[in-house]
């Protein structure tokens, strides 16, 4: 039966279908202990989306199961660690959505959150200390290899305006001078991460009385 299915897959347009799609169309279940090419594709997708670290291989080990469970939980699927049709489809959907995006927002957020607690430093651009634009410059470069300008005003000028911020966008504020003078990375649910001039890299509420009065808008990084 497997040979018959394999020979059928060799014909026509099926060859252009991703391996994930091939496995899904065959209702193939992937689980711990298995080894095949479909597992490589699944693990590659999980790694690109930030769920899996290390080398990608064709072997479904325990770490792969944990990564699959985390992905399933985040996408409201049964978190059994087994890759079936629903998980395949969700992986493909996520891949398409990320392909339409300029960068991986989850990588940006993960890098930014890893820097929480870093002290403020005037003109700082490294983990020993950041100013607000230095944090943005470092996070986008290190997480998705996107270079942004050095100053908030220049980052604002280079961005693409959006009506409402999405995760990974930059939110801007007018603080000590007219125009954009402070900025942070939007996390969702009105939260953003930034370098506070009086504190450290921290998370704040965009809708708080202080920040809502100074909010200028949001832009995507180009």
Q: What pLDDT score does 143 carry?
A: 95
Q: What pLDDT score does 96 carry?
A: 56
Q: What pLDDT score does 44 carry?
A: 85
CA dihedral 49→54→55→56, nearest 10 degrees, is -30
pLDDT reading at 17 higher than 60? no
Q: What pLDDT score does 104 carry?
A: 86
Active site residue 182: yes
Structural domains in the chain, CATH included, are 2-99 (1.10.101.10), 105-220 (3.90.1720.10)
Per-residue pLDDT tens digits for 67-102: 999 999 988 999 999 999 999 888 887 665 555 445
When mean pLDDT is compared across 20-24, 146-150, 188-192, 195-199, the lowest value belongs to: 20-24
Q: What pLDDT score does 8 carry?
A: 29
Is residue 189 packed enough to be buried (19+ CB in 10 Å), middle (13-18) or exposed (0-12)?
exposed
Q: Which of 45, 68, 193, 194 is catalytic?
A: 194
Q: What pLDDT score does 14 carry?
A: 33
Average pLDDT over residues 166-177: 95
Active site residue 75: no
When mean pLDDT is compared across 22-26, 96-100, 109-113, the lowest value belongs to: 22-26
Active site residue 194: yes
Average pLDDT over residues 165-180: 95
> 195: which 2 tokens?
């370098």
**Which residues 6+ apart lie within 8 Å of 196 measured at CB?**
120, 202, 204
Q: Which of 132, 135, 136, 139 is catalytic?
A: 132
Q: What pLDDT score does 11 carry?
A: 36
Higher-pLDDT residue of 96 and 66 is: 66
Q: What pLDDT score does 24 carry?
A: 44
- Mean pLDDT, the chain, integer: 85
Average pLDDT over residues 133-147: 96
Average pLDDT over residues 127-137: 97
Q: What pLDDT score does 74 carry?
A: 87
Q: Taking the CA of residue 38 as centre, how many other CA atoms within 13 Å lie in the half-sphere pointing to its CB? A: 22
Q: Which of 43, 182, 206, 219 is catalytic?
A: 182
């Amino acid at each position: 039966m497997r040979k018959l299915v394999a020979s059928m897959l060799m014909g026509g347009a099926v060859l252009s279908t991703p391996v994930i799609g091939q496995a899904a169309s065959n209702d193939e279940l992937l689980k711990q202990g298995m080894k095949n090419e479909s597992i490589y594709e699944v693990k590659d997708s999980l790694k690109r989306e930030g769920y899996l670290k290390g080398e990608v291989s064709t072997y479904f080990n325990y770490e792969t199961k944990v990564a699959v469970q985390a992905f399933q939980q985040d996408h409201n699927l049964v978190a059994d660690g087994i890759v079936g049709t629903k998980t395949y489809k969700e992986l493909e959907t996520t891949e398409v959505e990320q392909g339409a995006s300029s960068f991986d927002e989850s990588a940006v957020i993960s890098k930014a959150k890893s820097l929480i607690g870093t002290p403020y430093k005037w003109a700082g651009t490294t983990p020993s200390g950041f100013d607000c634009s230095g944090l943005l410059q470092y996070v986008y470069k290190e997480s998705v290899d996107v270079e942004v300008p050095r100053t908030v005003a220049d980052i604002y000028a280079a961005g693409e305006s959006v009506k409402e911020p999405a995760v990974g966008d930059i939110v801007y504020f007018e603080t000590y001078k007219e125009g954009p003078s402070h900025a942070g990375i939007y996390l969702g649910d009105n939260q953003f991460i930034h370098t506070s001039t009086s504190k450290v890299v921290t998370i704040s509420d965009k809708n708080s009385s202080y920040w809502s009065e100074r909010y200028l808008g949001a832009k995507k990084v180009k």
